[in-house]
Chain A
Amino acid sequence: MNRGRTSSPHQPGPNRTGRLMAWVMAAALPGLLAQTLFFGWGNLINTVFCIALSVGTEAAVLALRQRPVRFFLRDNTAALTGLLLGLSLPPLTPWWVSAIAVISAIVLAKQLYGGLGANPFNPAMVGYALVLVSFPVALTTRWVAPAGTEEAVLPGLIETLSIIFGGSTPVDAFTMATPLDVYKHGIAGALASQVTTHPTFGDGIARGWEWVNAGFLAGGLFLLWRRIISWHIPVSLLASLALMSLVFGWDPDRATPLSLHLVSGATMLGAFFIATDPVSAATSHRGKLIYGAGIGLLLYVIRTWGTYPDAIAFAVLLMNLSVPFIDHYTQPRTYGHRKARRVGTGGA
């Protein structure tokens, strides 16, 4: 009996990091389901592969660092990083590209900084940005034509496996540029009505993509409802993206319209699952609002004036950089104080 040694509080609350991460992963399932329905087996295979590799890599590095492997794996953060990469990489990404993304995420972006909690950058996005810069072709030509497109076919399970792991190049009938990409390059020489005849848009705003985004939105709302994430980052992110789009892109004959910004690409995945990674985000409520708004703004800027059709990774990483400053200037006012004290934070 070691009476008298423990410190208050003496009863634990209901939250557990591992469980929270598991809920986040579960909430991503509707989005993954929509991806699988509209874009075939690719994302599912990628996701399983990335999770397995991510957990394996984390275990290996922890063992090398002589840390208790099982204890740290229980926080489920490695699995979540794998999941996020699997969801964001194009469905037909070759396995070695995914592997490079996963390993750099876990080793470079997380463990080399000291493991969970010490990483200034979102690991999954470091991995993603790295392969996007290194293998731009693989990352832009491996998107699948959504189910329901007339002149295209969805690759089957065996075909998908052989493309991902067997090194075969996908036939043209399988792939199609993303709506954001098509619109951005099409609108330069055509009117909106002409651009949207492209099969990638389908009958709605963006065939398949709208459902994928709806899926991630639903999962995100679930996380909000369970209070696993707070509303500040997703709401400010989407609001600033919308505002930018309304101010600079109000004319659909000249720029990508708001609707497309919101429901295609990785917008909802980014807003609810990626930007909300707590470790690399700002910490106070006001800080989160600024952080989210910054991502939304950068997202619009890079999508519109940059070379990449989608930009979640870069937008998030850039805002990760500014977190120490945001945290510094957004300290809350403590009870009984007239105003907030502004003093250096740890990383600043």
Chain B
Amino acid sequence: MRTLYDFPGGIHPPENKRQSSETPIRIANLPERLIIPLQQHIGAPARTRVSEGDRVLKGDVLGDTEGAFSVPVHAPTSGHIERIGPHAVPHPSGLDDWCVTLIPDGKDHWGACHPLPESDQQDPDRLLAHIHKAGIAGLGGAGFPTGIKLRPPETDSIRTVILNAAECEPYITADDRLIRDRAAEVVSGLQIVRRILNPEQCLIGIEDNKPDAIQALESAVDGTGIEVVVIPTRYPSGGEKQLIQVLTGEEVPHGGIPADIGVLCQNVGTAAAIHRAVYHGEPLIQRITTLTGDALCEPGNVETLIGTPIRHLLDSAGFDEARAGDVLMGGPMMGFSLPDLAMPVVKTTNCLLAGSPEELPPPPPPQPCIRCGYCADACPMELLPQQLFWFAQSGENDKAEQHNLFDCIECGACSWVCPSQIPLVQYYRSTKGEIREQREEQIRADRARERFEARQARLEREQAEKEAKRQARKEAAAKARQTPPASKAAPERSAAASETVAAPSEAPDIETLEKQLLKAQAKRNNMRNMLDDARKRGADNVDKLEKAVAKNDDRVDAAQKALEKARSGLTETGGATE
């Protein structure tokens, strides 16, 4: 029996999973049109590979990778492209995305399907390339491209691969149902991941409220060396950081990623998608989505094409619009309320929760914070949500940041327990947004200032040079007047001329030195600010920064000396002219 570790805090909200978990996965029927966003993941949008009016087959590439952080997008079914343009997509930002609208022809004809040849199935690089080409991105959370995630900086640094089957969020049963119906696919996908990363251990973390799924996994992993670890049900045990803590006892360092401690987490749906891509050549064009909530007559899980309009999917489950309040993408704890049901299903749509107003009541007016500390007791990150709230509310963004606001995973446990019903997460989100904006603003301002200063310096220098030239010309002219136009004056004159010509040739040297000095000064000031900040915070890297400042001081001195030397050299030569 493996030792399990504990994570601090956590809550036990009503699970509400049985509404949707007890019927097998249904296949959603084809909608009239599919709206496929070209950016369904963190990273750059894919470049369109089709034009309006084109006919496509199922699995054809619609958009291709633009940057390193992007994955291709494929046609979920056969049909023709009606339109390419902006369309509302489910994203908390509320911004439109560039989408391809596809009218299915109903035939669902596959284009060419390329499973990875057996000879290549053992080669990590071939596997990675194949996974990337299949457009696979994390099917839970942020939707990070899987092909990139599976390629950590040093491949051999991953010691533990964790399949996150905890599914701690209430209402959502997509992973549970996927495991129950297709455990073999999930485990097969995990084995591919294991082949790529070659970790010491491979674990599946699952909450103990899913006995059927646990059983299915136990029999599927038999003989593979993969271990199914059953963990106590407590929200948010499925948070990546929490699951890692429960299974390994280690914490992902602040500002780092799990790979820093040799861990990689994969989502259940992603594992199944990897299996399908490698063995069947199917790109990621569909996913399992939980349809649930009191406003649906037939809740359950469906396998749906990406791009299916949400309303179509809800209608297929008996959506009773009159009874519906909010419709959420995701669960009640971390999901967000959809402004528009014409939005399509995307790769990260794990759940659509169409609740009645009683089920998802409008937030009550918050009462004052009574500092009861329940929120701190519930916080899995061991923050002090009441203090963060205080700072967020009073606009003390810097203090909120110093109290580790950016470590908040927005799990909502604090808001859930708050007796005064304060929408804490909302405050944190908007404060984080403000701080990010300020940072960007700062960077922009810094850049503008640098540019301005550089320009100013250039103008001054040009002015000085002009002045010097004028002076030189004047002197030369004066000398020329003093000395009669004799033949022996000519070389002198030409010498003076050559001096004036030589001066500019020397100027670039000073210019680069000046630039160097400015750069060194900027860097040192930057270091100094960081040091001050670190001292104020009592951070652990003070001594390191002190050293850095000292080093940069030296650099500035050196640059200054070099510049002075160059300048005095110039005046010396300048003096020689006289």
Q: Which residues of A contact B (CB under 8 A)?
A: 1, 3-13, 15-17, 19-20, 71-72, 74-75, 77, 115-118, 230, 278-279, 281, 283-284, 288, 327, 331-339, 341-346
Q: List 23 A-B contacts (CB under 8 A).
A: A3-B327, A3-B338, A5-B339, A6-B337, A8-B335, A8-B336, A10-B332, A11-B170, A11-B361, A13-B11, A115-B368, A230-B373, A278-B372, A278-B373, A284-B376, A332-B382, A334-B383, A335-B241, A335-B251, A335-B252, A336-B241, A341-B538, A346-B387
What is the distance, in angstroms, from A152's C-beta to the closest C-beta of chain B?
A: 42
Expressed in whole angstroms, the Cα–Cα distance for A15 and B11 within the complex equals 12
Instruction: Find the B residue at minimum CB distance from A347.
Output: B390
Expressed in whole angstroms, the Cα–Cα distance for A7 and B538 within the complex equals 34
Given A13-B418, A115-B368, A4:B252 Cβ within 8 A? no
Q: Does B328 contact A (CB under 8 A)?
A: yes
| Complex contact B403–A343 (CB within 8 A) | yes
| Complex contact B367–A17 (CB within 8 A) | yes
In this complex, the member of B245, B330, B412 whose beta carbon has the largest number of chain A beta carbons within 10 angstroms is B412
| Complex contact A284–B373 (CB within 8 A) | yes
Expressed in whole angstroms, the Cα–Cα distance for A75 and B333 within the complex equals 25
Q: Does B423 contact A (CB under 8 A)?
A: yes
Contact of B384 among A116, A284, A339 (CB under 8 A): A284
| Complex contact B332–A332 (CB within 8 A) | no
Majority SS of interface residues in chain B?
Answer: loop
| Complex contact A343–B254 (CB within 8 A) | no
| Complex contact B13–A342 (CB within 8 A) | no
| Complex contact B376–A332 (CB within 8 A) | yes
| Complex contact B337–A335 (CB within 8 A) | no
| Complex contact A283–B337 (CB within 8 A) | no
| Complex contact B417–A117 (CB within 8 A) | no
| Complex contact A15–B371 (CB within 8 A) | no
| Complex contact B337–A3 (CB within 8 A) | yes
Task: Give every chain A residue within 8 A of B53 (Cβ-Cβ).
Answer: none
Contact of A279 among B362, B370, B421 (CB under 8 A): B370
Contact of A116 among B339, B370, B377 (CB under 8 A): B370
In this complex, the member of A7, A331, A341, A346 whose beta carbon has the largest number of chain B beta carbons within 10 angstroms is A7
| Complex contact A344–B361 (CB within 8 A) | no
Contact of A343 among B241, B334, B382, B402 (CB under 8 A): B402
Q: How many A-B residue pairs have CB under 8 A?
A: 181
Q: Does B380 contact A (CB under 8 A)?
A: yes
Instruction: Find the A residue at minimum CB distance from B373.
Output: A283
Contacts of B331-361 to chain A: CB distance below 8 A: 332-340, 355, 359-361
User: Which range holds the interface residue count of chain B?
Assistant: 35 or more
What is the distance, in angstroms, from A330's C-beta to the closest C-beta of chain B?
A: 10
What is the distance, in angstroms, from B81's C-beta to the closest C-beta of chain A?
A: 28
| Complex contact A335–B370 (CB within 8 A) | no
Task: Give every chain A residue within 8 A of B384 (Cβ-Cβ).
Answer: 283-284, 331-332
Expressed in whole angstroms, the Cα–Cα distance for A175 and B539 within the complex equals 61
Expressed in whole angstroms, the Cα–Cα distance for A300 and B11 within the complex equals 39
| Complex contact B360–A11 (CB within 8 A) | yes
| Complex contact B538–A342 (CB within 8 A) | yes
Q: Does B481 contact A (CB under 8 A)?
A: no
Task: Give every chain B residue within 8 A of A10 (Cβ-Cβ).
Answer: 326, 328, 332-333, 335, 337, 355, 360
| Complex contact B337–A4 (CB within 8 A) | yes
Expressed in whole angstroms, the Cα–Cα distance for A3 and B369 within the complex equals 27
Interface string of B304-344 (1 = CB under 8 A from A): 00000000000000000000011110101111111110000
| Complex contact B419–A16 (CB within 8 A) | yes
Instruction: Find the B residue at minimum CB distance from A9.
Output: B412
| Complex contact B419–A116 (CB within 8 A) | no
Expressed in whole angstroms, the Cα–Cα distance for A345 and B419 within the complex equals 23
Expressed in whole angstroms, the Cα–Cα distance for A327 and B376 within the complex equals 13
The 7 closest A-B pairs by CB, nearest first: A4-B339, A117-B368, A9-B412, A15-B419, A7-B426, A13-B416, A336-B254
